[in-house]
Amino acid sequence: MTSSSSKWGNATVYAKNVVNNYIAANRDCNDPNAQWHPSPFLFKYILAPIIPYFPAIVVESFIWKFHAIPYLNLYGVLLRSRLYHSKEDYSRSFSDSKIDEWILLNEKWLRNEALPDWRYGMVTLEDANIVFPRSTLNDDLSARLVFRPNALPGYEILCHAREPHVGIQPSTVAFKRNFVHLTHGLLNSVDWNNVVVAGGIVLGALNVDLSNTIYAGPEYDSGKWTSSDVDVYIYGLSPINANKKILHIFDVFRSNLPPGMRTLVIRNSRTITFYAEYPLRRIQIVLKAVNSPKDVLLNFDLDVCAMAWDGTHLWMLPRAARALETGCNTFTMELIRGDYLSDRRASQPHRIVKYASRGYGLRILPSYISHLGQFFELDEAMILAYISFLERKSCTWIQEPNNFSESTAEGQVHLTGFVAFLHRIQIKFRELDDPSLPVQESDLMTTSYDVTLTLEYIN
């Protein structure tokens, strides 16, 4: 039987030969000095299969340096390592805060790399077995239970409502059924070409409420998503064709209403909204020109909202899948300084509190805390105490049972203090002049569609 060390040696020689042959075959023949950049395919089909033969300590040392690979490949490597190495190594790899840092750097790759297909690097519901390694289907197969770590490195804010596990739809078929239920079938028969629905309503359709003991099916509505609009995004079309698509969506919307029901269409600088009578949801078309669903998701402020439905597949950014796994949105500077038309927009306090009430608070990663420590010349424990002091000084976090509110009434959250807290953190980070700080800078600006549809009443 071949020993582990000989396997490692053979794998190394094999990898070297394959990579050299790959480079030789793909280098520009007219330019022998041309730079070569490894592709996701090289990693997935050539390097990933042999990684399990490497000792766990070797994998641990280099896997986090590969940011330009799909999230699915990263987890695939960790899962392969699990098959060959001890559970302790596997557990350490998945609980290490390095994965959150890796996701930040990986998103830069997703945002800036000219990938041939926007789907590269994305996560689908079919990938749940890989990206949610701590998950399992419940006894009646009506939900996938994603179990979360007991503790997360860093500092958590507004995470009182975070559950130890979350239930999500067990399949794309179940998700689609619940999506139609939550949206009242208002988009039935829509042409999904160049159209996605994204944001909170998608998260709501993905969610399975496990708190109700009477729950008997995937179409149960807990009421958490009652206020969610159906946010529709149009991508990859010229302004003229985008306007045609908007009219098509409205025709579908109206055709799915009960006979005789009045509708209202309102346009502002950012959206066109179709209204019907309560309790039917509003269909809101976001007027932002984007090239692909990936660009739609990269613009989302909160991690857990970065998911979209295209009528066939549920797509997620890695940070959205990670938020489901941890129950937290990662704090980055874009949350307070992004712009609606920039690559990633800023968030608003009421949105942060709204999703905190749904079980997804904020988490400041250890790298942010360590940079503050360098600035103040304090150790991590003192910095955590300082952040906690700022939080208490700026805000009153008084919690009703598993619920937050925007009201300033006694026993509820005070938003003005939350704004003050974020502003203080922003000032401290801006004072740091350190290029290694994991902050995503806004690059290109995009423009809105020049939509001609105006305010009108339609019988």
Q: What value does the mean pLDDT take over residues 169-186?
A: 95
Question: Which of 9-13, 293-297, 332-336 is predicted least confidently?
Answer: 9-13
pLDDT of residue 240: 94
pLDDT of residue 355: 86
Q: Does some domain include residue 444?
A: no
Compute the radius of gyration of the chain from its Cα atoms.
24
Same-domain pairing of 202 and 157? yes
Question: Which of 107-121, 138-152, 165-179, 183-197 is predicted least confidently?
Answer: 107-121
Q: Does some domain include residue 146?
A: yes
> What range defines the domain where residue 24 resides?
4-112
For residue 198, is pLDDT > 70? Answer: yes
From 402, 399, 454, select the one nearest 264 (Cα to Cα).
454
pLDDT of residue 12: 54
Cross-strand bridge partners of residue 232: 197, 285
pLDDT of residue 400: 43
The more confidently predicted of residues 174 and 422 is 174
Q: Taking a C-beta distance cutoff of 8 angstroms, is the pair 322, 100 a contact?
A: yes
pLDDT averaged over every residue in the chain: 73
Q: Does some domain include residue 384?
A: yes
Q: Does some domain include residue 250?
A: yes
Same-domain pairing of 318 and 402? no
Beta strand segments in 278-400, E: 283-290, 307-309, 314-316, 328-330, 361-364
pLDDT of residue 444: 22
Q: Does some domain include residue 343?
A: no
Same-domain pairing of 14 and 63? yes
CA 238 from centre of chain:
27
Same-domain pairing of 95 and 145? no
Helix/strand/coil for 271: strand
Same-domain pairing of 155 and 275? yes
pLDDT of residue 18: 53
Query: Residue 9 to residues 4, 50, 82, 223, 416: CA-CA distances in angstroms?
Result: 9, 11, 20, 57, 60
Percent of the chain with pLDDT over 90: 34
Same-domain pairing of 287 and 259? yes
For residue 281, is pLDDT > 60? Answer: yes
The Cα–Cα gap between 69 and 61 comes to: 16
pLDDT of residue 209: 83
For residue 170, is pLDDT > 90? Answer: yes
Contacts 24+ apart (CB under 8 A), 107-115: 107/298, 107/317, 107/318, 107/319, 107/440, 108/67, 108/440, 109/67, 109/68, 110/294, 110/298, 110/317, 111/298, 111/343, 111/440, 111/443, 112/443, 113/68
How many beta carbons lie within 10 A of that of residue 45, not counting itself?
A: 12
Question: Which of 76-85, 162-171, 379-388 is predicted least confidently?
Answer: 76-85
Work out the pLDDT band at 445, boundaries 50, 70, 90.
very low
Q: What value does the mean pLDDT take over residues 386-412?
A: 46
Same-domain pairing of 41 and 143? no
Q: Does some domain include residue 189?
A: yes
pLDDT of residue 93: 46
pLDDT of residue 315: 98
Work out the pLDDT band at 313, boundaries 50, 70, 90.
very high
The DSSP code sequence of 122-167 is -EEGGGHHHH-TTEEE-TTSS-EEEE--S--SSEEES-TT--SEEE
pLDDT of residue 430: 47
Q: Does some domain include residue 162?
A: yes
The Cα–Cα gap between 360 and 108 comes to: 23
Same-domain pairing of 193 and 289? yes
CA dihedral 118, 182, 230, 343 (to 10 degrees): -40
pLDDT in tens, 339-379: 544 556 656 667 887 888 888 988 888 877 776 666 556 66
pLDDT of residue 152: 86
- How are strands ordered across the β-sheet holding 155-157? 155-157, 361-364, 328-330
pLDDT of residue 210: 77
Query: Residue 136 to residues 130, 146, 222: CA-CA distances in angstroms?
Result: 11, 7, 22
CA 101 from centre of chain:
14
What's the number of domains the chain is made of? 3
Kindly state the tokens that stand for 377.
Answer: 């010349």
Residue at 359: amino acid letter: G
For residue 335, is pLDDT > 60? Answer: yes
For residue 80, is pLDDT > 50? Answer: yes
From 112, 60, 55, select the one nearest 85 (Cα to Cα).
55
Q: Does some domain include residue 242?
A: yes
Same-domain pairing of 148 and 45? no
Is cis: bond before 164, omega within 30 of 0?
no
The more confidently predicted of residues 380 and 337 is 380
Phi and psi dihedrals of 266, rounded to 5?
-125, 130
Same-domain pairing of 226 and 313? yes
pLDDT of residue 322: 95
Same-domain pairing of 165 and 282? yes
pLDDT in tens, 63-74: 777 787 888 878
Residue at 215: amino acid letter: Y
pLDDT of residue 136: 92
pLDDT of residue 115: 77
Q: What value does the mean pLDDT take over residues 408-419?
A: 40
pLDDT in tens, 97-140: 788 988 998 998 888 777 778 998 999 999 999 899 889 998 88
Phi and psi dihedrals of 9, rounded to 5?
-65, -45
pLDDT in tens, 284-301: 999 988 999 999 999 998
Residue bearing tokens 């766990």: 56
From 272, 323, 271, select the one nearest 301 (Cα to Cα).
323
Same-domain pairing of 40 and 136? no
Q: Taking a C-beta distance cutoff of 8 angstroms, is the pair 75, 131 a contact?
A: yes
From 317, 325, 10, 283, select the one nearest 148 (Cα to Cα).
325
